[in-house]
Amino acid sequence: MPINRIVSMTLPINPHTLTNEDLIMHLQEFNQIECRTLTLIMIHLLEFDRRRLYANLGHSSLFSYCTHTLGYSDDMAYSRILAARTIARFPLLLDYLKNARLHMTSIITIAPYLTTENYAHLLEQVAGQSQRDVEKLVANLNPQPARREHIRFLGDGRVYIQFTAPEELLDKITRTRGLLRHKFPAGRLTDILYAALTLYLERQDPSRRSPNSRRRTTKPLTDSRYVPQNVKDAVWKRDSGRCVFTTEDGKRCNAWSWLEFDHIIPRALGGKSNHPSNIRLLCRTHNQLMARQTFGEKATRSRAHAR
């Protein structure tokens, strides 16, 4: 795309004046422009580096030029320079970057493992993958020995804990983190493990378990806001512990955290809470979206303030 075309497409636009359809279209177009612009930056950065023009401009290195003249942070300068020099060795990366099949972080992650023999195959393996999947693939290319368990006291009531675990434990931690997002929005590993272990000890440790710990507090069935536990369990199993919001073209929300039990027919309109057929799992975002569509923006804000 000619550079003047890119500039003309990025002239100031007031998003408040756009329809929903135009806003979505513009955002997708600008994302494509960003990918193409980043590709152009890589190409120009490579040639700038090859000519060593930073020296003519009073800089001792390309890194110095990027941080002091282009205004990059140290991390951004390092990543873009590494990506550019990797692209110089494997120009095919430009196509993946331009078409958003690879992002900068992925390029940096796989850079040390690319060779003339494996790069084409490796690029196809990582194209379109999440950063976690890219890291897993790279780890399998260069397996590391297990590290022994280590606990070190840091003082002030803090300890440093290190251990090697199976990947299944990471899956459990990720799932637990999602379930506890309401309580721990930051999702810190310390909070997640502390909460999980505390719950286990309260239920299984005879020295800590309260005589009344097995008793469940119940709410009267006349309270229409209360969703019985058996209904929650059935809905959770049916919806696979995931937000069920689905777009008109069949794309289902991928949220596993911030989940809420939502009434399909709202309580205010006579919806019941005592059967799974009227309860569904929605993430907070889509629960609020459904409320706005049903009650309107002003009414939804009033209900939120009243809580």
Residues 6+ apart with CB under 8 A from 151: 159, 160, 161, 162
Q: CA-based angle 198:170:182, to the nearest 5?
A: 55
Residues 6+ apart with CB under 8 A from 89: 114
Task: Please report, rounded to a whole number, the percentage of residues in the chain having pLDDT higher than 70.
Answer: 86
Confidence of residue 210 (pLDDT cuts 50, 70, 90): low
Q: What is the pLDDT of residues 241-283, one digit of tens each?
A: 899 999 988 999 988 888 899 999 998 888 999 999 999 999 9
Q: Can you give the pTM of this predicted structure?
A: 0.62
Q: Please give the single-letter amino acid code of residue 185.
A: P
Q: Is the pLDDT of residue 42 over 90?
A: yes
Q: Please, how many CA atoms are within 13 Å of residue 202, restricted to the half-sphere of its CB?
A: 10
Q: Give the 3-state DSSP-derived string for 45-60, with helices as H, strands as E and coil as C.
A: HHHHHHCCHHHHCCCC
Q: What is the pLDDT of residues 49-62, one digit of tens each?
A: 999 999 999 999 99
If you write DSSP's letter for every residue of 275-304 in order, what string do you get? SGGGEEEEEHHHHHHHHHHHH-HHHHHHHH
- Residue 33 neighbours by CB distance under 10 Å: 15
104: its two tokens: 């900068």
Nearest to 136 by CA among 162, 159, 113, 155: 113
153 forms bridges with which residues in the sheet? 159
The whole-chain average pLDDT of the chain stands at: 85
136: its two tokens: 């897993």
